[in-house]
């Protein structure tokens, strides 16, 4: 009798939100990280303006959230911070 072949099921990968329609609905003084990709000067300026309103938050690239999910823990955001010019 041949051993029964067992397939391993890969867990679903949780994707971070890529677009928020209205950031005022989710932003508050308790927010610690803003996860975003600033793909052009307009996005960078918008993100900088948001951080002026919420100085307790840091702006990270989406890779930070992906890394947190993959490691199942919050990782240091320093390597993932946006470098604004």
**48: containing domain:** 31-80
* Residue 17, in any domain of the structure: no
- So what's the pLDDT on residue 38? 85
Q: How many domains, in total, are found in the chain? A: 1
Report yes or no on 69 lying in a domain: yes
Cα dihedral: 26, 38, 57, 25 (round 10): -10
More confident residue, 84 or 19: 84
pLDDT score for 24: 63
Residue 26: the pLDDT is 73
Report d(CA 37, CA 71) in Å as an integer. 21
The answer to whether the beta carbons of residues 58 and 78 sit under 8 Å apart is no
Spell out the SS3 assignment of 3-27.
CCCCCCCCCCCCCCCCCCCCHHHCC
Is residue 11 domain-resident?
no
> With 80 as the cut, is the pLDDT of residue 52 above it?
yes
Mean pLDDT of the chain: 79
Per cent of the chain over pLDDT 90 is 39
pTM of the model as a whole = 0.66
Q: Which of 32, 15, 8 is nearest to 70 (CA)?
A: 15
Is 74 within a domain? yes
């Amino acid at each position: 009798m041949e051993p029964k072949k067992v397939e391993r099921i890969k867990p679903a990968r949780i994707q971070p939100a890529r677009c928020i329609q209205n950031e005022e609905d989710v932003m508050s003084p308790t927010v610690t990280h803003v996860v975003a990709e600033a793909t052009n000067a307009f996005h960078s300026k918008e993100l900088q303006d948001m951080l002026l309103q919420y100085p307790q938050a840091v702006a990270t690239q989406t890779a930070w959230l992906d890394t947190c999910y993959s490691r199942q823990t919050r990782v240091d955001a320093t390597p993932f911070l946006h470098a604004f010019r």
